[in-house]
Amino acid sequence: MRRVMGRIGRAGAIAMAVIACLAAIGALVVRLGAVPYFESRLLITQDPTTTTITPESYGVAYRARTIDSHGRSLQAWIVNAGAKTPAILFFHGNGQTIHDLACVQAYLYRHGISSMVFDYSGFGQSTGKATVRNLDQDALAAWRAFVAWAGPARAKFAVGYSLGTGILLHAAARFKQRPDGIAVYGAFSSIKHAIVHLRDAPAWLAPLGPDIWNNVAAASHLDAPLLVVAGADDTIVPPAMGRPIAREASSARGGRYVLIPGVGHDGIVAHMPAVWSPILKFIQARVAPRAMATRGNVAGPASSTAPGMTAQPL
């Protein structure tokens, strides 16, 4: 009887080990398969022929250039507000192209800020395919090109929006020249959480998914101050997702969270004075005041302040 029980026990242990191995293999398959699923379902590129809007449409001169990213050509626009003005590299959101940011570049120019915007691989007129790996490579290539263009005299900042927050924060720790500051708007805590919130995957599947663009984890590795701005009416990315990002950054190089009432996910374009006000103040605090000479107001609300905007406790 003992021998029989012993054999049953060993057989059971072997069966449990086999089940554990199969479960691990299954989880790995799910993780590997989830990346292409995410790329095909959630990375939304845009036809560049749908619009011809440029910064010149808003009365601001710009220069087009091409950035090489591992053999792929990334399309970029540069607006120069002056040789010693601070400069921003902007990482745009999903379904956007540089054309959607023409008004933002004009707005920044009129507030004494130079800027560069670019399209990721597969977005707009940029060549290549929109994949997680390619977009991560694009971030490093764009930052190198931005630093080379901006030169040593300018303070350099990086700003990310929505999808661009993940691309930026994931790459920032690998920038050879660290930014003077980083700001994000509409930042998700991680792609897994964003997918569940948007109901593109059931909640139970999230733990098995790949940990792509985990902004909370990335914030702990930043070597630059971080400003997290969120719209209180954002239904695409819950504003609460930004708090742990700022909290992690706060324990590293310093993080701050600002919540703006009455503004949704598209606020960085649709409500520029409200959203950009804390970002401009964040930049101003890190550069000489003479570099921030305002060049007049843009169309729309005359003030760049945001009534009711408050810094939130982490």
Provide the pLDDT for residue 306.
Answer: 45
Q: Kindly state whether residues 229 and 96 are assigned to the same domain.
A: yes
Q: pLDDT, tens digit, for every residue of 35-45?
A: 566 665 567 67
pTM of the full structure: 0.80
Q: Kindly state whether residues 30 and 61 are assigned to the same domain.
A: no
Q: Kindly state whether residues 36 and 98 are assigned to the same domain.
A: no
Q: Kindly state whether residues 172 and 126 are assigned to the same domain.
A: yes
Q: Kindly state whether residues 95 and 201 are assigned to the same domain.
A: yes
Of 49 and 57, the one with more pLDDT: 57
Q: Enter the DSSP assignment of 179.
A: -
CATH of the domain at 123: 3.40.50.1820
Provide the pLDDT for residue 302.
Answer: 35
Q: What is the SS3 string spanning 34-69? A: HHHHHHHHHCCCCCHHHCCCCHHHHCCCCEEEEEEE
Burial class of residue 105 in the structure, from the number of CB atoms within 10 Å of its CB (0-12 exposed, 13-18 middle, 19+ buried): buried
Provide the pLDDT for residue 169.
Answer: 97
Q: Does 244 score more than 70 pLDDT?
A: yes
Q: Kindly state whether residues 35 and 109 are assigned to the same domain.
A: no
- Cβ neighbours for 256, distance < 8 A, ≥ 6 positions apart: 225, 226, 227, 228, 246, 250, 282, 311
How many CB atoms neighbour CB 113 within 10 A?
A: 28
Q: pLDDT, tens digit, for every residue of 290-300?
A: 445 445 544 43
Provide the pLDDT for residue 307.
Answer: 45
Contact 184, 228 (CB under 8 A): yes
Residue 264 structural domain:
46-312
Q: Kindly state whether residues 74 and 98 are assigned to the same domain.
A: yes
Q: Kindly state whether residues 27 and 175 are assigned to the same domain.
A: no
Q: Does 233 score more than 90 pLDDT?
A: yes
- Cα distance between residue 166 and residue 236, in whole Å: 15
pLDDT band at 305 (very low <50, low <70, confident <90, very high): very low
Q: Kindly state whether residues 96 and 158 are assigned to the same domain.
A: yes
Q: pLDDT, tens digit, for every residue of 72-106?
A: 999 999 999 999 999 999 999 999 999 999 999 99
Number of domains composing the chain: 2
Provide the pLDDT for residue 211.
Answer: 75
Of 64 and 251, the one with more pLDDT: 64
- Cβ neighbours for 103, distance < 8 A, ≥ 6 positions apart: 53, 58, 269, 272
For the chain, give the mean pLDDT. Answer: 82
Q: Kindly state whether residues 133 and 280 are assigned to the same domain.
A: yes
Provide the pLDDT for residue 277.
Answer: 98
Provide the pLDDT for residue 25.
Answer: 36
Q: Kindly state whether residues 87 and 20 are assigned to the same domain.
A: no
The stretch 147-161 carries a mean pLDDT of 96
Mean pLDDT lowest among 16-30, 57-71, 107-121, 209-223? 16-30
Q: Kindly state whether residues 17 and 121 are assigned to the same domain.
A: no
